[in-house]
Amino acid sequence: MPKERIKIVVWDSIGNTVLGVRPWSSWDPQQVEHFLREDPAGPERAQSFDELFADYDVELIWFNSADEAYGAFGTLAEDYQGSLRLTKSVDEIAAEVADADYLVIHKHRFPAEALLNAEKLRLVQHLGQDYRGMPVDAARQLGIPAAATPLVNYITVAEHVWAFVLNWLKRLPFQRELMRSREYPSSWGLVPGVQYAADVTLGLLGLGEIARPIARYAQAFEMPAIYWDIQRFPELEERYNLRYVEWDEIFAQADILSVQLALNDQTQGIIGAREIGSMKPTSLFINTARGKLVDQPALTDAVAKHRIGGVALDVYYDEPLPIDDPLLDLHDLPGDRVTLTPHCAWQSPWTWVRDSQEIWFNVLRSLNDEPLEWLV
């Protein structure tokens, strides 16, 4: 019996949609060792794209408009060389979608009018729940289901931010040093500077997919939260009890400022000495987004001269962080004003596999006439 033929169009210039379903043999040996250390049984559920769709004759077209790939994503071109097409032409992508069965999008804006001729389309699937680029209304009008699966690596970044927040509020490094030094008898039960979450204001610079769970955590702790973004989100403001403020106001008002902006030509260096200088002298600056959003020397200087309370950073202008960077000297000092981590906020067991597979599980649900998940 011949296999059912299906056509899938992917528009993803990063590669998260297909990275986690690459063949097991394609993973770097060091990454495999790391995977197995996290979960020895993992390979049993880390199915490749070909294994997932073994019962179908699949035409996969992966459009990538990136100028260059990076890191683990750079080798994907070899794994999918028969499917990969480099283009920045929306018209070219729309032409392929016209006779496609499935459209998968990640971090792109797909024009609504391009769906009008997509008569075979069974599902528009977005990776990530900040689906501003997905033509949801057009899909609904045409009777095409639309779904947006979560990115596990975004949720883990949000968790990392909250670890920074609690680490700061409860002065955990200071308390650990107090216990380590055995110098606590005279101050047992009294630690200066410990704060109550509901007494401080969290500022979210950007309200994308990472910032939203952070806002949810703040709400659970009854922490007041403000945000700035290039657009307002009235529904999210109500859901998470958020207050929108202007650009300058968020730096001046936040007790804890968390940067959640995307890096592009318009945002590189957007947080400069002026913005940092307007922050409260007791405030904490958190960055888990991209180091090049910030004037790092100005930030380092502000911490060194106690013009802000502290920093908690997972990203840096240059990575890996040079071993002679002055931030590391500040990190070595006693106390808890500087917390640095090695760009690991995204990490959890099998993050990339989980992110990719849930997309394709939803496509398989559609093919098997099963209820879809993550509908929007």
Residues assigned a catalytic role: 290, 319, 343
Tell me how far apart the alpha carbons of residues 18 and 12 are, in angstroms, rounded to a whole number.
9
Tokens 């804890």, located at residue: 256
Quick check: helix, strand or coil at residue 139?
A: helix
Angle 266-132-135 from CA coordinates, rounded to 5° = 130
How does DSSP classify residue 342?
A: -
Report residue 223 as tokens: 């922490």
- Tell me the longest C-alpha to C-alpha distance in the chain: 81
Say if residues 217 and 162 touch (Cβ distance below 8 Å): yes
Distances (CA, A) of 253 to 222, 250, 259: 17, 5, 14
Tell me how far apart the alpha carbons of residues 1 and 140 are, in angstroms, rounded to a whole number.
34
- Give CA torsion, residues 16, 22, 24, 30, to 10 deg: -40
Tell me how far apart the alpha carbons of residues 22 and 51 are, in angstroms, rounded to a whole number.
10
Q: Sign of dihedral through CA atoms 288, 293, 294, 295?
A: positive
Report residue 376 as tokens: 């929007």
